[in-house]
Chain A
Amino acid sequence: MRKTAVMFVFLALVMFAFRSLPELISWPSYFPKPVYDFKKRPLTAAQIELGRALFYDPVLSIDSSTSCASCHSPYNSFAHTDHSLSHGIHDSIGTRNAPALINLAWNTLLMWDGAVNHIEVQPLAPITNVSEMGENINHVVFKLNRSLRYRSLFYSAYGDSVVTGQRTLLALAQFQLSLISCNSKYDSVRTGDASFNAQEQRGYDLFLRHCNSCHTEPLFTNGLFANNGLRIDTTLNDYGRFRITHDEKDSLKFKVPTLRNAEYTYPYMHDGRFLSLYDVIRHYTSGIQSSGTLAPQLRKPVVLSAAEKTDLVAFLLTLSDKKFIFDKRFGPPQKK
């Protein structure tokens, strides 16, 4: 009898311990296994908070003008509305469109050309780029070490107030890994809490037929690189993944972006050439440029009627996650 009671108390305690653990991140059961190894480097609330402070702080740029959020705004699903190409210090313009920063834990290679192989080292690229932040990680660490506010945030995050490059980058990664978008209408339909209207359903059927092989659900990207038949912009001469691999087969291939929150992330494509989802669909039906590396799925023309295009857009709008956009945990931190 006593034994049972002890067991019961023990079990209750265990359950209580699990319940009291705040859930930092979660994702639906129909998502695949994340690429990021959360077992090796578990997220902590303090590291996410530090990463959030860094993400919104222009201290990462050489002249304290540009933060990550300058081009990755929470209200645009961490992309940059109205700017076809990202811009940085001294009003300089980069060569690529700032992509949405969501569901990054499922990404193997980052950037439009896959130049970066791990989310923890990604911030080095914009920090160092002369058209973005024009800084170097060494000097960032120097500046952070001078700041009492950051010394205390680093202490909370790592139990040690010394700022290092690794700790800075790890915190930025943790915040960005926490940006999980999975509360769109599409998700409610998946979980049985909502249903598509007739138009959305027609759009979904069209999506499965024409788009899903690359923009694969539920993440709406297969994470691979493809040439989607864009005419080369001769002012940029951007050959995408070829620059990284030097392999002819990768010429004009760019990362397949997620379509989640596409409503908020215009303009579209690696160079932001299309302003609306209609423009994008029109490209796939009548703008494909043929070349040796063109995606095999696009070799046969995609034929959609005007009504079908509207249906497809109606479906794409079900991928919008308003809850994510206005989630206070992801917005600018309140400075104490």
Chain B
Amino acid sequence: MVKRFLFLVVPVLLFVLSASFVDLRPITVQFAPYWGDQPVEMDSVYYSEKNKDSVKFTQLRFYISQFTICEGAFSSLLSDYELIDLSRGTSFGAPRQYYSMNDITVVEFNLGIDSITNTNGVGSGVLDPTTGMYWAWHSGYINLKLEGTSPSCTKNRGKFQYHLGGYSAPYNALRKVRLPVEDDDDIIRIKVDLKSFIESVNLKEQTVVMSPGAAAMELSDQAVDMFSIVK
């Protein structure tokens, strides 16, 4: 009987003890907008030598869902939904209690809101339509809003407005982002390189994307490439 009891209790005790000895550390996740290697501020001018063009950014907001940290074979969900507003210089990741057994090897998240959430009716908190990240004339969350100005945007009074979204096939604009982490740190800094995105779009011809469809799909693919871990 006693033997049996020990058999049960010892592993549990060992686990509790080990958990209290391993590094219990708060993880912070920061997103920061860049122009190549240069941090971006809203309303400042950035030059593209490739496109012989200049741009200013006025708004950058996007949804991140299912933010997951992987340590080899283990993975932990840190957050279901976050609305990242880089026009206000915010980042998410108020310190979270998180058991780290090994080094973080990969960070994974979805850029946007999944189709189930998109068809579940009205959301609260960061999913409340008052955030301005929900379409009105047809249903669906806007996964990413990037707005700004450029002399190239003659078709739209100098402005570009990309509101990317769409939740149903064949125009589901949700994208998975997977970033390998080389140097493990308590702060995961994720760079959002607007230069890579802007240089991949044609600012002269494509100034406005505001509905689901082929254009939103293509730009959503390009948006994935903006994300990388800051070394």
A residues in contact (CB < 8 Å) with B: 41, 115-121, 124-125, 127-129, 136-138, 141, 164-166, 169-170, 173, 244, 246
- The answer to whether B137 touches A125, judged by C-beta atoms less than 8 angstroms apart, is yes
Which residues on the B side are within 8 Å of A141 (C-beta)? 130
Q: Which of A121, A125, A127, A129 contacts B122 (CB 8 A)?
A: A121
Which residues on the B side are within 8 Å of A129 (C-beta)? 136-137
Nearest CB on A from B133, distance (A): 11
B196 near A: Cβ within 8 Å? no
- The answer to whether A121 touches B134, judged by C-beta atoms less than 8 angstroms apart, is yes
Q: A121-B121, A164-B128 are in contact. List 14 more A-B contacts (CB 8 A).
A: A117-B139, A118-B121, A118-B139, A121-B122, A121-B134, A136-B136, A137-B130, A137-B136, A138-B132, A164-B130, A165-B130, A166-B127, A173-B121, A246-B214
Nearest CB on B from A50, distance (A): 14
- The answer to whether B121 touches A165, judged by C-beta atoms less than 8 angstroms apart, is no
**Interface range on chain B (Cβ under 8 Å from partner):** 20 to 34
Nearest CB on B from A107, distance (A): 13
B93 near A: Cβ within 8 Å? no
CA separation between A160 and B26, bound complex, in Å? 33
- The answer to whether A119 touches B128, judged by C-beta atoms less than 8 angstroms apart, is no
Identify which of B120, B123, B132, B139 gathers the most chain A CB atoms within 10 Å of its CB.
Answer: B139
Which residues on the B side are within 8 Å of A164 (C-beta)? 124, 128, 130
B129 near A: Cβ within 8 Å? yes
Which residues on the A side are within 8 Å of B118 (C-beta)? 117
Which residues on the A side are within 8 Å of B124 (C-beta)? 164, 166
Q: A118-B120, A118-B121, A246-B213 are in contact. Are A165 and B137 (CB under 8 A)?
A: no
Which residues on the A side are within 8 Å of B127 (C-beta)? 166
Nearest CB on A from B137, distance (A): 5
A-B contacts counted at CB < 8 A amount to 65
Q: A118-B119, A119-B121, A164-B124 are in contact. Are A244 and B129 (CB under 8 A)?
A: no
Helix, strand, loop or mixed for chain B's interface?
Answer: loop
Q: Which of B121, B123, B129, B171 contacts A137 (CB 8 A)?
A: B129
- The answer to whether A165 touches B213, judged by C-beta atoms less than 8 angstroms apart, is no
Name the residue on B nearest A122 (C-beta): B139
Name the residue on A nearest B213 (C-beta): A246
Nearest CB on B from A18, distance (A): 28
CA separation between A217 and B39, bound complex, in Å? 62
Name the residue on B nearest A113 (C-beta): B138
Q: A121-B134, A138-B132, A246-B213 are in contact. Are A166 and B122 (CB under 8 A)?
A: yes
- The answer to whether B123 touches A117, judged by C-beta atoms less than 8 angstroms apart, is no
- The answer to whether B122 touches A169, judged by C-beta atoms less than 8 angstroms apart, is yes
CA separation between A170 and B129, bound complex, in Å? 12
Nearest CB on B from A118, distance (A): 4
Nearest CB on A from B169, distance (A): 10
CA separation between A136 and B134, bound complex, in Å? 11
Which residues on the B side are within 8 Å of A119 (C-beta)? 121
CA separation between A128 and B134, bound complex, in Å? 11
- The answer to whether A124 touches B134, judged by C-beta atoms less than 8 angstroms apart, is yes
18 A-B residue pairs with Cβ-Cβ distance under 8 Å, sorted by A, are: A115-B139, A117-B140, A120-B122, A121-B122, A121-B129, A124-B135, A129-B137, A137-B129, A137-B130, A137-B136, A138-B130, A138-B132, A164-B128, A166-B128, A169-B122, A170-B122, A173-B122, A246-B214
Which residues on the A side are within 8 Å of B130 (C-beta)? 137-138, 141, 164-165
